[in-house]
């Protein structure tokens, strides 16, 4: 119920903001606000997905073709803003028209999580590089930073749910 009650005002904010931008034009600040509201709405929808997933209901449709390049590029203004506020240099190299067969929401969720963590664990004055390229039939998505890092022994476990060892390392700033 809480998730549903949160989504309703977010939808209203999105609608009014979109209408305002259509009538008066956009500006960098409005684009950042819109990106933040869109991300928050996506996060709320993700909470719905967790509930559905825990009940065994299929959440993603991986038979869709998604434009990975556009998914990343649409999130960049928000990340650029966060980096600027934290005095982190953000470099990007995103090849155009990289498509893959996967649910766009899943790709967005994974990419945003990785990038947000890079920002979170990079100190002021640090640097983050995001790249998306192809090599033959393979897609290479990379987020590199000069933050504290993840110990090699835990890198294969980062997507495991409730990993106690990973949480303990994070809380004690060992990452």
- Rounded Cα distance, 77 and 58, in Å: 31
Share of the chain above pLDDT 70, in %: 83
Torsion angle defined by CA atoms of residues 19, 21, 22 and 27, in that order, rounded to the nearest 10 degrees = 180
pLDDT tens digits, residue range 57-73?
666 666 788 999 999 99
Whether the per-residue pLDDT at 81 is higher than 90: the answer is: no
**How confident is the model at residue 165, as a pLDDT?**
47
**Confidence band for 167, pLDDT divided at 50, 70 and 90:** very low
**How confident is the model at residue 128, as a pLDDT?**
96
**How confident is the model at residue 85, as a pLDDT?**
86
Whether the per-residue pLDDT at 169 is higher than 60: the answer is: no
Of the ranges 6-20, 31-45, 110-124, the best mean pLDDT one = 110-124
Q: pTM of the full predicted structure? A: 0.63
Three-state SS at 129:
strand
**Confidence band for 161, pLDDT divided at 50, 70 and 90:** low
Is the dihedral angle over the CA atoms 99, 80, 34, 39 positive or is it negative? Answer: positive
Rounded mean pLDDT of the chain? 81
Judge whether 43 and 33 are in contact, CB under 8 Å.
no
Task: Identify the residue with better confidence: 43 or 17.
Answer: 17
């Amino acid at each position: 119920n809480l998730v549903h009650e949160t989504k309703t005002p977010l939808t209203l904010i999105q609608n009014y903001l979109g209408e305002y931008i259509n009538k008066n034009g956009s500006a960098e600040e409005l684009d950042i606000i819109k990106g933040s509201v869109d991300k928050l709405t996506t996060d709320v929808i993700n909470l719905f997905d967790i509930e559905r997933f825990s009940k065994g209901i299929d959440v993603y449709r991986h038979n869709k073709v998604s434009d990975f390049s556009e998914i990343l590029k649409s999130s960049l203004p928000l990340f650029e803003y966060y980096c600027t506020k934290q005095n982190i240099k953000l470099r990007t190299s995103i090849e155009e028209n990289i498509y893959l067969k996967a649910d766009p929401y899943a790709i967005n969720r994974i990419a945003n999580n990785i990038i947000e963590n890079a920002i979170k664990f990079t100190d002021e004055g640090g640097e983050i590089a995001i790249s998306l390229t192809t090599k033959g039939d393979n897609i290479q998505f990379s987020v590199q930073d000069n933050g504290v890092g993840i110990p090699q022994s835990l890198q294969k476990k980062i997507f495991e749910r409730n990993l106690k060892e990973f949480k303990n390392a994070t809380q004690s700033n060992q990452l």
